[in-house]
Amino acid sequence: MANEQGLKIAVIGGGSSYTPELVEGFILHYNELPVRELWLVDIEPGQRKLNIVGNLAKRMVEKSGLPIEVHLTLDRREAIKGADFVSTQMRVGMLDARGRDESIPLKYGVIGQETTGPGGMMKALRTIPVLLDICRDIEELAPNAWLLNFTNPAGMVTEAILKYSNVKSIGLCNAPIGLIKQTSAKYGVAADRIYAEFVGLNHLHWITRIDVNGEDKLDEMLADTAGYSAKNVPAREWNPEFLQSLHALPSYYLKYFYMTDAMLEEQLESFQKGGNRAEVVKRVEEELFELYSDPELKDKPKQLEQRGGAFYSEAAVNLMRSLHNGTNDIQTLNVANNGIIDFLPDDASIEVNCVVTKTGPLPLPLTKVPPMATGLIHAVKTYERLAIDAAVTGDRGLAIQALAHHPLVPSVEVAITMLDEMLEANKEYLPQFFKETTANA
């Protein structure tokens, strides 16, 4: 654990293309976050990427002259042992599984997206058991560590950890920090002069207040119908009359709910041309790893910002710094509800502003919950809770109920037929749903 020599940090999914951004953050903020050991962990199929990214990380640290030891390993337990922070950025099934998550729902006339709708549910079913297994290692080998989870669907994964483990865990998303950075650039002010209130769930939030230097700028931001956007969600402008009457800035993921027909049409057109987001990410990653392989490269390349998760690592480093130093600053995080949104259970994971103390985040009371948003929040949380329990138990009935009650799924028949195909396509990663088959094999 932390001592005079510094901190031990384990990154699960260390071979990710995001890792150089994380390493850059550790180097830039070494004085406030003195990392002694950085362990990058991956699984055997990811070893090539781990070696490429890990060697770049070592060159970056060497150039900085800082006394940070970078370890590359496939031994998760060795990496976790005695860690102060464990960060997760995994993709169970890798990009091929993401491609199926995005393409299969389209056959049924349903949105195919990595974290929203049926694709998000499949990702949760694959991911939650693996994360809970990691949590068992943390409970045994680093019981005082903080687990910072960026693995999507981040809100559902965080809720599963809160419900089914004793690990201290916080969920992270790059969307809130992206909004702050966009606002900072728009008004030419430092990020700490901006206050934005986030209300809702991960990838399902509304911004009900944006203050810049103490002045209310929400109406001005709403007038920009392009809204704040991301590389992984198609750019389509909001209806200005709708935004003004909503009087809240919706997350770009809410386009899948508010503009379902148009977004589905866009996805179908893209898919027919042979491209879904998974294919785009594959190409971007191949280019990045080619860059990372250059032995002369000793800095994070600018091209990483095209990856779609820009600023995630900055958010992760900010959170570690705040927890380590007890800075009591405000960050937007995925935490247990505990009465903040009064129509949701206390153990539900929500995405809201928190004061980050040395003992953990304290969620702030909300000044405004848009009344028109409550039904959608409640419906999606109902789906999430059913899907989380299905992921843990392998209960097909729960999975049917989760999918059938998702607002983007049109009927029970579609839910069941689509679920069958998606479970079969993910069979390799879903042993909890195929116990009889496994037993008879």
The catalytic residue positions are 253
Cβ–Cβ < 8 Å for 334, 349: yes
Query: What is the spatial distance between Cα 403 and Cα 25, in angstroms, rounded to a whole number?
Result: 39
Structure letter (DSSP) for residue 112? -
Strand partners, 333: 352
DSSP string for residues in 162-204: HHH---EEEE--SHHHHHHHHHHHHHT--GGGEEEEEEEETTE
Query: What is the spatial distance between Cα 392 and Cα 390, in angstroms, rounded to a whole number?
Result: 5
Residue of 195, 256, 232 lying closest to 310 (CA atoms): 232
Query: What is the spatial distance between Cα 156 and Cα 126, in angstroms, rounded to a whole number?
Result: 12
Q: Which residue has the tokens 């069941």?
A: 416
Cβ–Cβ < 8 Å for 156, 388: yes
Q: Which residue has the tokens 């600018």?
A: 302
Structure tokens at 158: 């965080």
Angle at CA 284, nearest 5°, toward 282 and 285? Answer: 65
Query: What is the spatial distance between Cα 152 and Cα 110, in angstroms, rounded to a whole number?
Result: 20
Residue 189: phi and psi, rounded to 5, are: -125, 160
Structure letter (DSSP) for residue 389? H
For 124, 183, 202, 255, the CA distances from 222, given in Å and listed in that order, are 32, 12, 21, 15
Residue of 129, 132, 167 lying closest to 148 (CA atoms): 167
Angle at CA 320, nearest 5°, toward 319 and 323? Answer: 85
Q: For residue 112, count other CB atoms closer than 10 A to its CB.
A: 25
H helices within 29-174, ranges in order?
47-64, 76-80, 94-103, 118-141, 154-164
Cβ–Cβ < 8 Å for 54, 14: yes
